[in-house]
Amino acid sequence: MKKLLRVAAYALLLVFSACSAKTGIRSQPEFGPPAVAQDSLNVFQTGIASWYGDDFNGKTTANGEIYDMSKLTAAHQNLPFHTLVEVENLENKKKVLVRVNDRGPFLKNRIIDLSWQAAQRLEMAEQGTAEVKLRVLRWGGATIDGQTPANGGLKCFVQAGAFSVRENAEDMLLTLGEIFPDLFFRIVLEDGMFKIISTKLTAAQDCREVIKKLAAFHLQGFIRETDIFPEK
């Protein structure tokens, strides 16, 4: 009897082993990157990045925008439009922040197609491709609310940077344009520094929301009074 029980237990063990072996095999598609889960803002994806420029400049992207190769944008196969992605070149550790506004790339093993400007920032434009790591910083659809004028609201500006070199200030403007697609920033020269200043916001709370969002991207900002930089 004991011998029969041992044989039965062994047979049952073989059945379970066979089932687990079959369920452990998952087929992978030949083309396209793996889907990115939307349950985390710290999602990493590693693969090959490429870039596209002159041939597509001025043409319509998948989300209806006009492609501008001088802006920090990218094409991805399945990330929602307007998702902000930090792209790191694993060869030189350069990083750039891009906004997804197009679909692609459609070549095997490539996970993102960058604008020419983004490729320049990563120092990969000349070689054409690079191995990169992606980190989602903001999922598409997130915007700042409350920028419609409120009756009697206190107006304010947000200063988002100050630079001794104008070129550095212009680089920051490109980044801010991707983080805040609905908020305009400009460069103001004050005390020998090129300062990044927002347009007027209608309430102090709006300014605090902008500063909070800057902090989420490891950028600093603070509130300035409206009479310091009158708009022309």
Domain CATH code at residue 67:
2.40.40.10
Answer yes or no: do 56 and 123 share one domain: yes
Report the CATH number at residue 176.
Answer: 3.30.70.1070
Q: Which domain does 84 fall in, by range?
A: 44-138
* Rounded Cα–Cα distance for residues 51 and 3 (Å): 67
Tokens of 175: 């980044």
pLDDT in tens, 49-94: 999 999 999 999 998 889 999 999 999 988 888 888 899 999 999 9
Answer yes or no: do 110 and 187 share one domain: no
Residue-level pLDDT at 141:
54
The Cβ of residue 111 has, within 10 Å, a number of other Cβ atoms equal to 23
Going by their DSSP bridges, the two strands 110-115 and 157-163 should be labelled as unpaired
Q: What 3-state class would DSSP assign to 31?
A: coil
- Tell me if 201 sits within 8 A of 159, measured CB to CB: no
Q: Is residue 36 part of a domain?
A: no
* Rounded Cα–Cα distance for residues 87 and 104 (Å): 16
Q: Is residue 164 part of a domain?
A: yes
Answer yes or no: do 73 and 131 share one domain: yes
pTM recorded for the entire structure: 0.52
> For 192, which DSSP code?
T
Which positions ≥6 away from 218 have C-beta within 8 Å?
none
